[in-house]
Amino acid sequence: MTHVLSVIDDLGFGGGENRLLTFARTIDRRRFRHSVLAIRAAAACPPQSSAMRAQYAAAGVNVVDLGEGDAARGRPLAARVPGAARRLARKVRRLRRVMRDQRVDVVDAHLESAGVVAALATAGTPVPCALTLYSARPPAAVPAWDAIGRFAIWNARATITDSDVRADDIRTWMRPARVRVFVIPNGVVPPRPARPPDEVRRSLAIPCGAHVRVVAQIGGLVPYKGYGVLLHAARLILAARRDVYFLLVGFERPGSGYAAHLQREAAALGVAAHTRIVSYPGPIGDIWSIVDVHAHATLFDSLPNAILEGMALAKPAVVTAVGGIPDAVEHGRTGLVVRPDCPDDLAAALLRLLDDPDRARRLAEAAHDRYRDEYRPDVMTGRLEALLESLARARADGPWIA
C-alpha cells in the first residue's frame, strides 16, 4: 500500500484546498494510505485561514497539524525576514520527522509555501515530492520566490498543474532546466445546498421570484479576480434592465480591506442597491442554488474551481479568456468567453444570456456534458493516483539523511 502525505500550508477557502479535499474524499483506500498535514496549526490561524477544516472533518478526512504558528503574518517585511530562515528550518525538520516516523512513500505538496517546505524536506531523501502549482509566479508576492520557487520545482519529481497554458509557463520559467510538468485538471463535486433558495435570497436581501435574476461571481476576494470589472459591467446592465442583482462571493485576505473597497466602488458606480458583496460561511451550494448566470471576470487565473462547479450544476456562464479557462469553456458552445478587463464585452455577453433564456439553457446543458466527460472527481483522482503510484515505484533507494 502506497502512503501519500499531502502537505498544505493551511485550510482556508480556495481552489487548492478544494482540490485536495476532493482528492482526499475519492482516493482508493484499498491501494493508498492517505494523510493530510497542515503546516500551520488551526489555533494559530485567523478563522478565514482554517475555514475549510469543518468540511474536511465532515468528509472524514483526518488533518494533522505540523504545529507551526502565525506570529510573523501581518508584520512588516523588515520584522519578518530575520527569523524567516529559522522558521523555515524548523518546518523542514518537523516535516522530515513526520515523513520518517510515518514511513511516507510520496509527499504531495500543494501551493507555494508548502511546496518550498516539502522540497527542502525531501531533498536528499528517498522520498519523491510531487508539487501542485497553478502558476510559475504566484499572483501574491512570495519573498525570494525566483530562487526558492525554482529550487522547489527543480527538486520535485513531478510538478502538477491544471492547464496547458500554466504548464507552458512553468517550463518556460524554469529554462534552461528541464522539468516534468503534468496537466491534471481539477475534478469537482457538484455543490449541494443546505437551505431553500428563497431563504438564501432573503438572507442576502435579494428579492424572491423568477422575475428577479441573479448574476454571481464566486472566488477568492482579491483584485486579480476582476470583481471591479464586474461592477462596471453591472452599471451597464442595470441601465438596460433593473431586474438583475449582482452577487460577489468570496473571502478576502486578512487585512486587505478589499471588500470595503468594492462596496465603495459599487456606491460610486450607482449599483450598490443591486449588489451584494459577501463572505458566505455556509455551504457554497446555497449560493449556487440562487444563481441564474455565472460570471467569472478574472484577470489572471489557471482553471478556477468555480467555473467547473458552475458547469457541474449546468449554470450558463460568461468567463474571460485567461489561463486555461478557454480549454474548459468553448465560446458559443459551452459558454461565452470575453476579453479580460473589458466591462463592455462582459456586460454585452451577460445581457445576451439574460435576454435569451433558451440560448442560456443550451450552453448550460453543453457545459454539463463537458463536465461529465472531463472534470468529475473520479477522473482527476484516477490521474493523480496513477502519477503518485509511479513516483512511489520509482523512488530512489538509499538511506535517510537526518
The sheet with strand 317-320 has its strands ordered as 275-278, 244-249, 213-218, 293-296, 317-320, 336-338
Round the average pLDDT of the chain to a whole number and report it: 91
**CATH architecture, domain defined by 2-187+377-393:** 3-Layer(aba) Sandwich (3.40)
Closest CA to 287 of 353, 226, 206, 227: 206
Place 54 in a pLDDT band, splitting at 50, 70 and 90.
confident
Model pLDDT, residue 400: 42
Provide mean pLDDT across the span 233-255.
Answer: 94
Confidence of residue 321 (pLDDT cuts 50, 70, 90): very high
Segment among 71-75, 103-107, 122-126, 338-342 with least mean pLDDT: 71-75
Sign of the alpha-carbon dihedral angle for 38, 43, 49, 52? positive
Please count the other Cβ atoms lying within 10 Å of the Cβ belonging to residue 210: 7
Higher-confidence position of 59 and 127: 127
Residue 334 contacts by C-beta under 8 Å, 6 or more apart in sequence?
311, 328, 363, 366, 367, 370
Q: Quick one: DSSP state of residue 45?
A: S
Residue 54 neighbours by CB distance under 10 Å: 11
Lowest mean pLDDT across 16-30, 50-64, 229-243: 50-64
Give the dihedral of Cα atoms 94, 97, 99, 101; nearest 10 deg. Answer: -140
| Angstrom distance (rounded) from CA 336 to CA 321 | 10
pLDDT digits (tens, 9 = 90+) for 82-111: 578 899 999 999 999 999 999 999 999 999
**Domains 2-187+377-393 and 197-374 belong to one CATH topology:** yes
pLDDT-derived band at 141, boundaries 50, 70, 90: low
Which residue in the block uniquely carries the three cell numbers 509555501?
Answer: 113
187's CB contacts (< 8 A; 6+ apart) are 22, 26, 308, 375, 376, 377, 378, 379, 380, 381
CA-CA-CA-CA dihedral for 229, 235, 237, 241, to nearest 10: 160
Whether residue 49 is predicted with pLDDT greater than 70 in this model: the reply is no
CATH topology of domain 197-374: Rossmann fold (3.40.50)
Confidence of residue 51 (pLDDT cuts 50, 70, 90): confident
Give 213 or 70, the one with higher predicted confidence.
213
Is residue 119 within 8 A of residue 139, CB to CB? The reply is: no
Instruction: Please give the residue that has the higher pLDDT: either 52 or 232.
Output: 232
* Separation in Å, CA 2 to CA 30, 111, 271: 10, 22, 54
Q: How confident is the model at residue 46 (pLDDT cuts 50, 70, 90)?
A: low
pLDDT, one tens digit per residue, over 159-216 is 999 999 999 999 999 999 999 999 999 999 999 999 999 999 999 999 999 899 999 9
163 phi-psi bin (left φ>0, alpha ψ -120 to 50, beta other): beta
Per residue in 264-276, pLDDT tens? 999 999 999 999 9
Please state, as a whole number, how many other Cβ atoms lie within 10 Å of the Cβ of residue 89: 11
CB neighbour list of residue 329: distance below 8 Å, 6 or more residues apart = 307, 311, 317, 319, 335, 337, 367
* Local confidence band at 3 (pLDDT 50, 70, 90 cut-offs): very high
What's the gap between Cα 49 and its chain centre? 13
Domain boundaries, the chain: 2-187+377-393, 197-374
